[in-house]
């Protein structure tokens, strides 16, 4: 009888039993992102619960502000910065318990953050679409007026376009192999969309020339910059 290496056999069995079979979304993401690591980061985003809650609150808050003041283009321009800072904080050194470890990985931590932003916007867009449909159905049957409109406004004016912008940013980052190039492409696309929309409706000039809004805009921009800086800083740790 030939010798059998039982420990080797057991490791083979354990490898098959313990392996996590990727679902269709993860398999699709692996192909598109050309990175199994980024694909896993994408699908596990909602399971990192505290980060998910913080990021979702930031995204929905920014979206509510952006859609409430649709006549002022700078609000729409700054809202992605607020949402981005919220996501970076939620999945950055501020909250993510494994951030230090992530910083030593071959897959860039900035690419992981970009993937997480797409997951947050994308899943919230799906939830927003469902909420809009439910609210519309309830509105038809006689519920409070205006609710279907506000849910749909946040979904269609904010969550869906921002999901598209994040997807574009990620695509650009994947092709260019640079997260910063992806962010630049996403920001450029959003800025062009907002400003061209405002120019067409003639509101852009009025908002820019309204001097009363300049100080709040500057304060807002400074706050966003501070949050983004804090969320993406290098952790100092114990010297």
Residues that bind another protein (CB under 8 A): 7, 10-12, 14-16, 18-20, 35-37, 40-41, 44, 47-49, 96-108, 112, 234-239
Q: How far is CA 144 from CA 28, 69, 129, 136, 152, in A?
A: 41, 22, 19, 10, 14
Looking at residue 235, what DSSP letter applies? P
Q: Give whichever of 116 and 151 is closer to another protein, judged by the CB atom.
A: 116
- Least separation in angstroms between residue 115's CB and another protein is 11
H or E segment and range at residue 82: helix 73-90
Q: Give whichever of 10 and 130 is closer to another protein, judged by the CB atom.
A: 10
Q: Give whichever of 41 and 54 is closer to another protein, judged by the CB atom.
A: 41
Q: Give whichever of 112 and 172 is closer to another protein, judged by the CB atom.
A: 112
Q: Give whichever of 142 and 237 is closer to another protein, judged by the CB atom.
A: 237
Q: Give whichever of 27 and 137 is closer to another protein, judged by the CB atom.
A: 27
- Least separation in angstroms between residue 72's CB and another protein is 39
- Least separation in angstroms between residue 27's CB and another protein is 11
Q: Give whichever of 112 and 119 is closer to another protein, judged by the CB atom.
A: 112
- Least separation in angstroms between residue 123's CB and another protein is 16
Rounded to 5 degrees, what are φ and ψ at 131?
Answer: -65, -40
Give dist(CA 52, CA 41) in Å, integer. Answer: 13
Give dist(CA 48, CA 87) in Å, integer. Answer: 12
b/e burial code for range 144-166 (CB count within 10 A of at least 16 → b): eeebbeebbbbbebbbbbbbbbb
Classify residue 132 by burial, with Cβ atoms within 10 Å: 0-12, 13-18, 19+: buried
- Least separation in angstroms between residue 112's CB and another protein is 8
- Least separation in angstroms between residue 92's CB and another protein is 12
Give dist(CA 94, CA 100) in Å, integer. Answer: 11
Q: How many CA atoms lie within 13 A of 108 on its CB side?
A: 15
- Least separation in angstroms between residue 45's CB and another protein is 11
Conformation bin of residue 177: beta by default, left when phi > 0, alpha when psi is -120 to 50: left
Q: Shortest CA distance to 235 belongs to which of 137, 136, 107, 94? A: 94
């Amino acid at each position: 009888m030939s010798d059998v290496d039982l420990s080797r056999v057991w490791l083979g069995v354990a490898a098959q039993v313990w392996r996590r079979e990727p679902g269709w979304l993860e398999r699709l993401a692996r192909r598109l992102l050309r990175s199994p690591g980024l694909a896993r980061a994408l699908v596990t985003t909602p399971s990192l619960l505290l980060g998910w809650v913080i990021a979702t609150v930031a995204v929905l808050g920014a979206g509510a502000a952006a859609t409430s003041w649709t006549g002022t283009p700078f609000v729409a321009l700054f809202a992605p910065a607020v949402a981005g800072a919220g996501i970076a904080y939620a999945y950055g050194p501020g909250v993510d318990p494994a951030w230090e470890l992530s910083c030593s990985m071959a897959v860039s931590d900035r690419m992981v953050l970009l993937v997480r932003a797409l997951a947050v916007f994308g899943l919230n867009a799906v939830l927003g679409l469902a909420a809009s449909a439910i609210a519309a159905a309830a509105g038809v049957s006689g519920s409070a007026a205006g609710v279907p409109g506000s849910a749909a406004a946040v979904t269609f004016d904010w969550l869906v376009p921002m999901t598209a912008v994040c997807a574009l940013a990620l695509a650009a980052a994947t092709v260019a192999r640079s997260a910063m190039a992806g962010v630049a492409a996403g920001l450029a696309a959003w800025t062009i969309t907002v400003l061209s929309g405002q120019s067409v409706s003639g509101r852009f000039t009025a908002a820019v020339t309204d001097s009363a809004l300049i100080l709040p805009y500057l304060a807002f921009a400074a706050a966003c910059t501070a949050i983004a800086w804090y969320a993406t800083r290098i952790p100092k740790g114990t010297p």
